[in-house]
Structure 1
């Protein structure tokens, strides 16, 4: 029986990097190899497959139509190879070895400093690598196998992913202490049009969650714009409100972390039923490390709510 010469996983990784960056130099840098090494790897892959996968010019690199097909299949093969490794690791101590965690910027700075000491104490062999980005890009990286799991806020459309609840994160109105609404014990959502209401820039899921919490659209109840300015972080929002530009909605997670410390702002709950976003840990469906991820969700839940989580024993 003839033995087929097969491409290596390293060659496939280099092809994926080249397809992503469209440039040998940048792809080599991302792959932590020299440009000549990556170029030679691509040529070897083309020789193994007996086909041209990329068109090379002085200014750019273009993946051929056949190359695009190979890229898609290579992505699946690499994911299955990683799943094989995860299956073998499942018999090791839970939450040990490298783990790539993505987290959105409206959660990471406020929850992770509280949970990381607990993780280090209970799982000293865990090597946790963090990536902070918007939800959409985190989920893209999760599906591409660049992340193992992600800590995000719901609701969010997540086909092909599993999730474990971490807990609720209620919203409150943050406003200057001398604002007329500060006299109220609770603020009705319809009153927020007196703002203006300042929110994060489009693309941040917290913007949509905050609007939904107050049953608002991108235009206020009276037809006016919800916000005349848009910020890129909760810290910027706080400074804008501090400077008298309007009101904002902040999650309890950020308030508990002291985001209003040093300001003259106060908070008031929103009238009506509890208005909150849901925090969740998500991962690819069918992952061999599901039990580990659920354990981590439990640790996050413990940190957020104070619920006791039993320590997992070594197998």
Structure 2
């Protein structure tokens, strides 16, 4: 019979790749250093390739080891999902779902959706984490989150993806700004030069860049905001204009400010709100139910407002 590595051996490799130190890796796996070393040696012998390079001072993963490492992570994640699936069978909508949400969605969608989720599924527990898209997807891959609410376009290859609704971008500027002329406004190059952005890492920054030519906004790259609220404060202070998601415009975010928001002429730039999970997730029922609840409670309401 062909050699098959154990999950424990694979977990040793993952821990060592993270720590690059045998002592700390062994502690993370709750075993002695000799046990971890022996397990890795058995893995290398069984696979017939060297996975780890080591000397008295340094530990590194070989190129072949890096390839094995990615497969090991996938196998361990699928194994954990299998255990969760077995535990959840026969008891749908009673799990503890770890949900990640990006900062430009969380404050506008969650207050509307979460009360409805609690009403429909009182036994479903949801814990939240707000973070940037890349960090949320990394935590999903590491089995530290179950689902994430993000905005597309974004690279979500290999994930289960449910697109929920479109979220158009609106132009926000001070009252009387030339960018607001007309019932539905455009974003010509001379206006794009004044476009303010969120800092690197926010997907809203990339969506704004996609809405116009990057060359048109190079002059403003030195002025970047760390949050949507800061971005609006910069606009109100007269530093420029901004593209803001419709869900933020329809909230109370612009109340008590001198800012005005106007819809952009069709076809308006947009982002697509989506729920994502590992393809091997054990919580398929919860994934479908949460997607439907968000779409019905928030997405359809946003669409209704848009057509009025």
TM-score range, shorter chain: 0.7 to 0.9
How do 1:1-315 residues align onto structure 2 when only pairs under 5 Å count? 9=7, 12-13=10-11, 15-23=13-21, 37=31, 39=33, 42-43=36-37, 45-46=39-40, 49=43, 61-63=59-61, 68=66, 71-182=69-180, 184-190=182-188, 193=191, 196-212=194-210, 215-220=211-216, 225=219, 227-306=221-300
Distance 1:202 1:50 in 2: 40
1:188-243 CA-partner distances (Å, limit 9, x unpaired):
2117627611012233221222333xx412122xx864644122221111111111
Report the counterpart of residue 313 of structure 1 in structure 2. none
How many matched pairs? Answer: 297
Distance 2:111 2:233 in 1: 22
Structure 1 unaligned spans of 5+ = 308-315
1:89-127 CA-partner distances (Å, limit 9, x unpaired):
452333322323232222123222332222233333333
Say if 1:14 and 1:41, in contact at 8 Å, map to a contact too.
no
SS for the counterpart of 2:247 is: helix
1:43-95 CA-partner distances (Å, limit 9, x unpaired):
46347658697667786543466765663443233123123224324523333
Distance 2:25 2:113 in 1: 34
Distance 1:116 1:24 in 2: 44
Give 1:266 deviation, angstroms.
1.2
Structure 2 unaligned spans of 5+ = 302-308
Question: What is the TM-score when the length of structure 1 is the normalising length?
Answer: 0.76
Give 1:169 deviation, angstroms.
1.0
Question: What is the TM-score when the length of structure 2 is the normalising length?
Answer: 0.78
SS for the counterpart of 2:90 is: coil
SS for the counterpart of 2:188 is: helix
